[in-house]
Structure 1
């Protein structure tokens, strides 16, 4: 049976009490049924009815509206699934930090939830950093006493500091994580406005510039690192996680395990890069990871990879700021310009959808070259 009426359940915190918010379009039948619920009240702030959040009340809502209206629980039960990854989550160093005077550290339950949900270490660092900045801005106010307006004032402070849109979005996510995931109130601050998503084109280098960067690396190890970032379209973290066994020379592919989004994929292995890797292996003899730090078995650091790319680009005479991810952008763009189907590029990059990969159609120049010169 198709139901034309619907209600939406949302979490509300009213006078420090957890409540079930019931959002609906004006309808006499729904209004009548809501009045039958126990101790129903109306919130002018949220413009919806609400009742006390309890298991019995939640069950009663489903019973009351069964066969009458569809109950949308997407907001109410929305939660992030635990990542299916074996990558170690490291929050120990946060717990072991020395106490700073007049500085509120991240609550233990916040760290515990990040650890249990197995967020990536980079996400953990950004969440903890942003949440601690927030709680120290309101260090004299209990977190449960903060409301949407307090969050907005804090975000306005970030805007005045000229923080980027991405920084502000991460700050919002870090704050929401505490209320939604730690305290169990999904969609607590659903009315908080986010910055408009920016449309920025990726910066791309020419093939000649890429080859020049590779030629200006200091040694064989650095040459292999830069060559792999470009010729296989790897993210910096993916490069650092590579094991020796991930290089499949028979099939000429590289296995990328548990990359962004906890997905495995294969990407291409260039023959000239394989030749360099064989020479590199004989000289450096890595034990566990393909690229290791001074201590055998330890991963090479992200900052070291950045320095390699930046220094080689400077030596190559490239004036603009060059980073590891620019090599990945160049990989995708050059493949597109050479006529490779965008669906294959999507798979090589590990994108969920071709919509993400389509950004490179805006910077590929092969179609621009076909446009007639209007001044000739």
Structure 2
């Protein structure tokens, strides 16, 4: 199922805490349950400790208590202090808030698993046990395992714990998956689906400039340089600035949008003036476009970026330029698009045709 449920004593009440990797589908499913709440302290969803929920989440209550009748996964004050120091270190190094939250959540899950051990006694073999008994047992993804490994490495380096040999912690093998790409006809249908000019402009800009979701939402009107025909993308992934060409058609669309909405701070704002457009609302814009276009594939916003890169490659753009346009550190990241481009494949004749 990909989750772990444990009985906890939360604010004087017996509750069932449910831990799982961040997954929009699971979040929506658990939200439908009666009297479910999110706890920032537990970093988990929790429900009433009832017979129905015990059966539903397969809980053996005796297995989750220690001799003091306290939750077995409760973190000590010392560990909480160390986690806070870890957060402060990440902020001092200017990690993004998204990365800080990811590492924070990952290290809490890891340390909860060993809540019955002293922090100073955790060693490399414990990480292997965690991978086998938590990650693999619950069929969690390799990417999530990688996040935990990254968090553990950084955490023990910052809290100066030398029982963990940082260099001997291996990352999982990454599955070799190909990026999802849409045809130009499908892209056209998605971009033309909305009558609302703001919605159309947002989706069009993501595809036309190969933007990540956060890059679009962090744009300001001054970042559009219509005279030079470029878009300035500030402090993108890896804290890097970059520029990308922006077509005359997109500039015209943005001018039309700007006249209608007159954004004050951000290029795309929410219902309140000066308020940044939310990620969730942007995802809903895409969902509505897919529904209107009659596309049933599980398209995400990142598919538009993948399609931009692949279509550039098929049009003959050099990989080195595509790497710069996408803001990739390594050319190997960009080279994956050669595996989904159909330009060369279409010239290959199947031996079946000769039968």
Partner of 2:237: 260
Correspondence for 1:221 among 176, 188, 198: 198
| 2:174 equivalent to 1:174 | no
On the 8 A contact 1:293/1:300 being kept in 2, the answer is yes
Partner of 1:364: 341
Provide the rounded CA distance (Å) in 2 between the counterparts of 1:99 and 1:332.
42
Correspondence for 1:122 among 98, 104, 108: 98
How far 1:194 sits from its partner (Å)? 2.2
Partner of 2:248: 271
How far 1:186 sits from its partner (Å)? 11
Which aligned runs of 4 or more in structure 1 are off by greater than 6 angstroms?
none
Correspondence for 2:141 among 142, 159, 164: 164
Provide the rounded CA distance (Å) in 2 between the counterparts of 1:370 and 1:220.
39
Equivalenced residues, count: 280
Provide the rounded CA distance (Å) in 1 between the counterparts of 2:330 and 2:226.
28
TM-score, with normalisation over the residues of structure 1? 0.71
Provide the rounded CA distance (Å) in 2 between the counterparts of 1:182 and 1:217.
51
On the 8 A contact 2:209/2:246 being kept in 1, the answer is yes
How far 1:138 sits from its partner (Å)? 1.6
Structure 1 segment 126-137 matched on structure 2, within 5 A: 126-137=102-113
Per the alignment, in what secondary structure is the counterpart of residue 107 of structure 1? Answer: helix
Q: Which runs of 5 or more residues in structure 1 are unaligned? A: 1-96
Partner of 1:75: none
Structure 1 segment 295-334 matched on structure 2, within 5 A: 295-334=272-311
Q: Deviations over 1:257-309 (max 9, x none)?
A: 11111211111212222111111111111111101122222211112111211
How far 1:223 sits from its partner (Å)? 0.3
Partner of 1:108: 84
On the 8 A contact 1:232/1:269 being kept in 2, the answer is yes
| 2:181 equivalent to 1:204 | yes
| 2:122 equivalent to 1:146 | yes
Q: Which has the larger radius of gyration?
A: 1
Q: Deviations over 1:119-142 (max 9, x none)?
A: 111111111111111111122222
On the 8 A contact 1:168/1:195 being kept in 2, the answer is yes
How far 1:310 sits from its partner (Å)? 2.2
Partner of 1:192: 169
Provide the rounded CA distance (Å) in 2 between the counterparts of 1:174 and 1:228.
34
Partner of 1:335: 312
How far 1:353 sits from its partner (Å)? 3.0
TM-score, with normalisation over the residues of structure 2? 0.75
Provide the rounded CA distance (Å) in 2 between the counterparts of 1:365 and 1:329.
14
1:296/1:187 Cα in 2 relative to 1: closer, same or farther (>3 Å)?
Answer: farther
1:130/1:353 Cα in 2 relative to 1: closer, same or farther (>3 Å)?
Answer: closer
Provide the rounded CA distance (Å) in 1 between the counterparts of 2:228 and 2:203.
22
Q: Which runs of 5 or more residues in structure 2 are unaligned? A: 1-38, 43-69
Q: Deviations over 1:235-261 (max 9, x none)?
A: 111111111110011111101111111
Provide the rounded CA distance (Å) in 1 between the counterparts of 2:252 and 2:238.
31
On the 8 A contact 1:113/1:182 being kept in 2, the answer is no
